């Protein structure tokens, strides 16, 4: 089926994100796979917000420039996105605010006719879109009923008036795929954490991680979890470690600036061997940077954060389905090895919306540390052959459980004894070796596109989507490491077999994945980098890659 | 575990005459009595920061979380949330809770989390060999302020009253009977209990000659009156010369944060079903 691309825009406060989600559900309900990109400046009111909703016959994670539909709630939307329109683009607009070619909707008079509040104006635009695209009215009814929390009937009446006023000038194709769940990356990460046994989520608001805090806070009763928003990120990570000490599986979420504050707590997790899962969702830096725009520039920060040496897991999922799976894996690895486990995301993944095929969701095996056998004295840091000491929690009969940020002996008592310090350092590092062995059992490097192609795009995280489409058009291979620590060098070398030209595609200025791979003798021949806060568009990437492969 | 040895075999490295011995001894006596009353010490957790005070984590043979500087209280808060059955005692220093981690102290009071915070307030950094702290008097000559500090101390008792603490007391390491009473009361109190302990630092701030003639036990004081508590708290501002009240300034009953945050635990299979339900709702 032919792709369809819809942009809906207005000013901040116009409810563009929720209107975009409804458009996405309409396309979801007529057989499309969905990707939604939401673009907004860092402000509450005013400013230009837009969402691009793309439907495709296959799984996607990017948007092309050209639009099939432009839904303009204000004039700025038409002005800002004119270059995305072709002669075939259907422009549907709020005729109270916009003068344009295309199909105007008298929003004010429709609202007055139904005695409906201004907030329902978007329903008129969506109703108008549905008719223009030839989407049956019963689909609109179904979607509104399932996805509008309140005032469904009135919203439907408003939508119906616009639906009846417009003509089907740009019918879209329809498929037979049943509707799939649509999830943002952050929602997928949250549900993955819950599948991995999450008991407590602790977070201080910071874009683009906050929507996970909001989502889990909203769902905490349903999921039976604690959600806590404390005074700052320092308290966040220390609280998460307090939960872990009592046997509660905890996770934190933040972005680069908040993670800066967490690094002393991260190092404590490493030393005290407390399991911890962290979402770090990247945005454009340095410092406050562009709060609501994307980047992949914190890989090396996360890789090296915290004083001292201790093992860590870092996974960077490329879309919501991967986020759902790998977040559960991260939780389990944190508990199996008593280590910090990172889910490294970015604004594009965290706040983008994706179709998730329920049949393709893999079960994640639940894993835990060995439990204490009950023979006193309990040694929290018993020097086990694999480095993983049996675990137990306060309240356990006859166990004195001492965790310690200082160098300590097996019982957890502070020591400066050279032999013991060396022994415990080696014990912690052995966990890293066991983790690396364990991760061999997971597909830590995704290979897609044309498997035998001698040119490969080399990417990580959310750029998976744009690389896959570019590669499909040009007949290239895509190599996407999902596990970034311990680095899957062997898997990567296998994935590289027959590659003569490796092109790193990253949303940072220094090619951080390429630098990391370089340490393992894997060299990127070319680099395509973007660092202006915006995700790559396939249109642009296609041209740049073509220049490199002629 | 019953009849346990309450002091570990770890070598004690506090200076002779250190006030920390008095606090440790007091806690040891309280723990012994708890055991005698049939309470299991397996359900007690000690959380400490970093500094001389924090060595108590190595010395007391109970569950402990030896945290990092300034960060005992967020750990203690989450331990109480993670397992509300536990009795959580937080030993902290003045450098810890009045400087590096002041925010956590204020928020713990504000939340009325049911933990007991004992601040070993020796009014000097001991372990880093003698710098001023937030409660050192004006003009204190430490290694980082050889010409004397140019800032006034703050009054932690007044600060805790302003922050909403529901049990506020001050003890003195040279009055162990009272100290035991205050810590026991704090642990029995349902809510956030704060005990500022004027502690002798034998090496860097041996202030016994200053404290001993000035301290007195509060009597006839109405601890339920916030106004009376404020008046008594302001009598000595940790700087000027005046009588120093010891005892319980304030106590009131308030809903506890850990009760408000209580969650109904769920089996993992039920959680996974809830995830599947949520996915369906997003279709």
Q: What is the pLDDT of residues A254-311, one digit of tens each?
A: 999 999 999 999 999 999 999 999 999 999 999 999 999 999 999 999 999 999 999 9
Q: What is the pLDDT of residues A511-532, one digit of tens each?
A: 999 999 999 999 999 999 999 9
Residue A370 contacts residue A390 (beta carbons within 8 Å) = yes
Closest CA to A32 of A8, A68, A5: A5
CB pair distance less than 8 Å for B104 and A231: yes
Residues of chain B with pLDDT > 90: what percent? 98
Measured between CA atoms, how close is B131 to chain A, in angstroms? 22
**Is the pLDDT assigned to residue A164 strictly greater than 80?**
yes
Measured between CA atoms, how close is A22 to chain B, in angstroms? 11
CB pair distance less than 8 Å for B282 and A181: yes
**Is the pLDDT assigned to residue B2 strictly greater than 70?**
no
What pLDDT shows up at residue A228?
98
**CB < 8 Å to A228, chain B:** 78, 81, 261
Q: What is the pLDDT of residues A181-229, one digit of tens each?
A: 999 999 999 999 999 999 999 999 999 999 999 999 999 999 999 999 9
Q: What is the pLDDT of residues B227-246, one digit of tens each?
A: 999 999 999 999 999 999 99
In a domain, B9, yes or no: no
CB pair distance less than 8 Å for A226 and B81: yes
In a domain, B74, yes or no: yes
CA distance B76 to A55: 49
Among chain B residues, CA nearest to A183: B282
Measured between CA atoms, how close is B206 to chain A, in angstroms? 27
Q: In this predicted complex, what is the ipTM?
A: 0.98
Alpha helices for A385-511 (secondary structure H): 418-439, 464-474, 489-495
**Residue B93: which residues within 8 A CB-CB, separation 6 or more?**
B49, B50, B51, B52, B53, B54, B119, B120, B121, B122
CB of B202 within 8 Å of a chain A CB? The answer is: no
Q: How far is CA A361 from the centre of its chain?
A: 16
What pLDDT shows up at residue B4?
83
Mean pLDDT across B157-171: 98
Greater confidence (A550 vs A455) lies with A455
CB of B50 within 8 Å of a chain A CB? The answer is: yes
Residue A502 contacts residue A546 (beta carbons within 8 Å) = no
**Is the pLDDT assigned to residue B1 strictly greater than 60?**
no
**CB < 8 Å to B85, chain A:** 395
Measured between CA atoms, how close is B283 to chain A, in angstroms? 4
**CB < 8 Å to B263, chain A:** 220, 224-226
What pLDDT shows up at residue B264?
85
Mean pLDDT across A246-260: 98
CB of B245 within 8 Å of a chain A CB? The answer is: no
CB of A261 within 8 Å of a chain B CB? The answer is: no
Assign residue B115 a region (left: φ > 0; alpha: ψ between -120 and 50; beta: otherwise). Answer: beta
**CB < 8 Å to A271, chain B:** none
**CB < 8 Å to B82, chain A:** 199-200, 242-243, 245-248
CB pair distance less than 8 Å for A224 and B266: yes
Q: Count CA atoms closer than 13 A to A429's CA, side-chain side.
A: 8
CB pair distance less than 8 Å for B71 and A248: no
In a domain, B3, yes or no: no
CA distance A127 to A384: 64
In a domain, B137, yes or no: yes
Nearest beta carbon to residue A238 from set B67, B85, B280: B67
Nearest beta carbon to residue B107 from set A197, A230, A401: A230
Task: Please give the radius of gyration of chain B, using alpha carbons only, rounded to the nearest integer.
Answer: 20
Closest CA to B71 of B87, B86, B92: B92
**Is the pLDDT assigned to residue B47 strictly greater than 70?**
yes
184-203 in chain A: CB under 8 A from chain B: 187, 191, 194-195, 197, 199-200, 202
Structural domains of chain A, ranges and CATH numbers in brackets: 4-165 (3.40.920.10), 183-358 (3.40.50.970), 369-442 (no CATH), 445-549 (3.40.50.920)
CB of A150 within 8 Å of a chain B CB? The answer is: no
CA distance B173 to B58: 20
Mean pLDDT across B131-144: 96
CB pair distance less than 8 Å for B67 and A358: no
Mean pLDDT across A27-36: 98
CATH label of the domain that carries residue B154: 3.40.50.970
What pLDDT shows up at residue A43?
84
CA distance A331 to A194: 9
In a domain, B10, yes or no: no
**Which residue's structure tokens are 């040895």?**
B5
CA distance B43 to B41: 5
Mean pLDDT across A160-184: 97
Q: What is the 3-state secondary structure (H, E, C) of chain B?
A: CCCCCCECCCCCCCCCCCCHHHHHHHHHHHHHHHHHCCCCHHHEEEEECCCHHHHHHHHECCEEEECCCCCHHHHHHHHHHHCCCCEEEEEEEHHHHHHHCHHHHHHHHHHCCCCEEEEEECCCECCCCCECCCCCCCCCCECCECCCCCCCCCCHHHHHHHHCCCEEEEEECCCHHHHHHHHHHHHHCCCCEEEEEECCECCCECCHHHHHHHEEECCCCCCCCHHHHHHHHHHCCCCCCCCEEEEEEEECCCCCHHHHCCCCCCCHHHHHHHHHHHHHHCC
What pLDDT shows up at residue A360?
87
CB of A28 within 8 Å of a chain B CB? The answer is: yes
CB of A280 within 8 Å of a chain B CB? The answer is: no
CB pair distance less than 8 Å for B83 and A246: yes
The count of domains in chain B is 1
Residues of chain A with pLDDT > 70: what percent? 100
CB pair distance less than 8 Å for B78 and A200: yes
What pLDDT shows up at residue A506?
98
Count the neighbouring beta carbons within 10 Å of the beta carbon of residue A211: 21
Residue B238 contacts residue B153 (beta carbons within 8 Å) = yes
CB pair distance less than 8 Å for B78 and A224: no
Q: What is the pLDDT of residues B48-85, one digit of tens each?
A: 999 999 999 999 999 999 999 999 999 999 999 999 99
**Is the pLDDT assigned to residue A341 strictly greater than 70?**
yes
**CB < 8 Å to B6, chain A:** none
- pTM value is 0.97
**CB < 8 Å to B40, chain A:** 397
The CA distances from residue A504 to A47, A470, A546, B128, in Å, are: 34, 13, 14, 48
Closest CA to A403 of B63, B96, B185: B63
Which domain range does residue B187 map to? 20-281
**CB < 8 Å to B265, chain A:** 224
CB pair distance less than 8 Å for A402 and B66: yes
Residue B37 in tokens = 């009353």
Residue A463 contacts residue A506 (beta carbons within 8 Å) = yes
Tell me what the pLDDT averaged over chain A comes to.
97
In a domain, B15, yes or no: no
CA distance A356 to B275: 13
In a domain, B131, yes or no: yes
Q: What is the pLDDT of residues A412-426, one digit of tens each?
A: 999 999 999 999 999
Measured between CA atoms, how close is A452 to chain B, in angstroms? 36
87-116 in chain B: CB under 8 A from chain A: 103-104, 107
Residue A550's pLDDT band (cuts 50, 70, 90): confident
In a domain, B75, yes or no: yes
What pLDDT shows up at residue B71?
98
CB of A111 within 8 Å of a chain B CB? The answer is: no
């Amino acid at each position: 089926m032919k792709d369809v691309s819809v942009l809906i825009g207005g000013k901040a406060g116009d409810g563009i994100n929720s209107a975009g989600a409804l458009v996405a559900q309409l396309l979801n309900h007529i057989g499309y796979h969905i990707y939604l990109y939401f673009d907004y400046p860092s402000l509450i009111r005013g400013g230009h917000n837009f969402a691009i909703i793309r439907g495709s016959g296959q799984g996607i994670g990017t948007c092309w420039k050209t639009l099939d539909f432009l839904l303009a709630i204000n004039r700025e939307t038409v002005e800002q996105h004119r270059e995305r329109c072709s002669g075939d683009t259907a422009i549907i607009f709020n005729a109270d605010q916009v003068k344009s070619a295309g199909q105007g909707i008298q929003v004010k008079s429709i609202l007055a006719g139904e005695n409906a509040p201004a907030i329902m104006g978007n329903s008129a635009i969506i109703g108008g879109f549905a008719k223009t695209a030839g989407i049956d009215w019963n689909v609109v009814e179904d979607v509104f009923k399932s996805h509008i929390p309140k005032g469904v009937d009135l919203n439907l009446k408003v939508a119906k008036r616009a639906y009846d006023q417009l003509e089907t000038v740009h019918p879209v194709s329809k498929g037979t795929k049943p509707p799939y769940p649509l999830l943002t990356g952050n929602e997928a990460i949250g549900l993955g954490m819950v599948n991995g046994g999450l008991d407590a989520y602790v977070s201080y608001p910071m874009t683009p991680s906050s929507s996970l805090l909001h989502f889990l806070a909203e769902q905490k009763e349903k999921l039976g979890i604690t959600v806590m928003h404390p005074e700052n990120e320092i308290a966040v990570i220390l609280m998460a470690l307090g939960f872990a000490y009592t046997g509660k599986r905890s996770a934190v979420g933040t972005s680069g600036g908040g993670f800066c504050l967490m690094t002393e707590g991260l190092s404590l997790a490493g030393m005290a061997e407390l399991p911890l899962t962290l979402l770090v969702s990247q945005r454009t830096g340095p410092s406050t940077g562009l709060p609501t725009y994307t980047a992949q520039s914190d890989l090396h920060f996360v890789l090296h954060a915290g004083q001292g040496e201790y093992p860590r897991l870092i996974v960077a999922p490329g879309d919501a389905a991967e986020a759902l799976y790998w977040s559960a894996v991260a939780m389990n690895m944190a508990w199996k090895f008593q280590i910090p486990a990172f889910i490294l995301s970015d604004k594009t993944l965290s706040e983008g919306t994706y179709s998730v095929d329920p049949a393709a969701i893999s079960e994640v095996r639940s894993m835990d540390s060995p439990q204490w056998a009950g023979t006193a004295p309990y040694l929290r840091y018993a020097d086990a052959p694999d480095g993983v000491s049996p675990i137990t929690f306060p309240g356990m009969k006859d166990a004195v459980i001492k965790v310690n940020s200082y160098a300590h002996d097996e019982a957890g008592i502070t020591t400066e004894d050279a032999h013991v310090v060396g022994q415990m350092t080696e014990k912690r590092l052995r966990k890293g070796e066991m983790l690396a062995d364990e991760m061999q059992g997971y597909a830590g490097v995704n290979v897609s596109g044309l498997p035998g192609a001698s040119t490969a795009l080399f990417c990580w995280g959310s750029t998976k989507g744009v690389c896959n489409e570019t590669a499909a058009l040009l007949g290239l291979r895509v190599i996407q490491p999902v596990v970034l620590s311990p680095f899957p060098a062997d898997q990567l070398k296998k994935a590289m077999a027959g590659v003569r030209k490796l092109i790193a595609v990253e949303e940072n200025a220094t090619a951080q994945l390429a630098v990391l791979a370089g340490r393992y003798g894997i060299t990127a021949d070319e680099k395509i980098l973007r660092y202006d806060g915006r995700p790559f568009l396939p249109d642009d990437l296609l041209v740049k890659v073509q220049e490199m492969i002629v | 575990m019953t009849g346990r040895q309450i002091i570990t075999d770890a070598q004690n490295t506090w200076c002779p005459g250190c006030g920390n011995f008095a606090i440790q001894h007091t806690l040891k006596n309280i723990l012994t009595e708890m055991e005698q009353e049939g309470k299991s010490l397996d359900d007690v957790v000690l959380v400490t920061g970093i500094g001389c005070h924090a060595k108590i984590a190595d010395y007391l043979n109970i569950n402990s979380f030896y945290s990092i500087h300034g960060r005992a209280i967020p750990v203690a808060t989450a331990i109480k949330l993670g397992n509300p059955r536990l009795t959580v005692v937080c030993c902290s220093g003045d450098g810890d809770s009045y400087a590096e981690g002041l925010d956590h102290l204020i928020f713990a009071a504000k939340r009325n989390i049911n933990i007991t915070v004992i601040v070993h307030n020796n009014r000097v950094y001991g372990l880093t060999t003698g710098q001023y702290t937030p409660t050192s008097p004006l003009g204190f000559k430490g290694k980082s302020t050889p010409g004397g500090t140019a800032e006034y101390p703050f009054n932690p008792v007044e600060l805790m009253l302003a922050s909403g603490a529901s049990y506020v007391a001050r003890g003195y390491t040279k009055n162990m009977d009272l100290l035991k009473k205050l810590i026991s009361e704090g642990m029995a109190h349902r809510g956030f209990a704060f005990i500022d302990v004027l502690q002798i630092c034998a090496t860097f701030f041996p202030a016994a000659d200053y404290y001993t003639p000035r301290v007195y036990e509060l009597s006839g004081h109405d601890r339920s009156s916030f106004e009376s508590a404020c008046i008594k708290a302001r009598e000595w501002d940790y700087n000027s010369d005046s009588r120093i009240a010891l005892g319980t300034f304030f106590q009131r009953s308030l809903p506890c944060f850990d009760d408000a945050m209580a969650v109904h635990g769920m089996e993992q299979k039920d959680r996974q079903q809830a995830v599947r339900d949520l996915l369906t709702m997003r279709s």
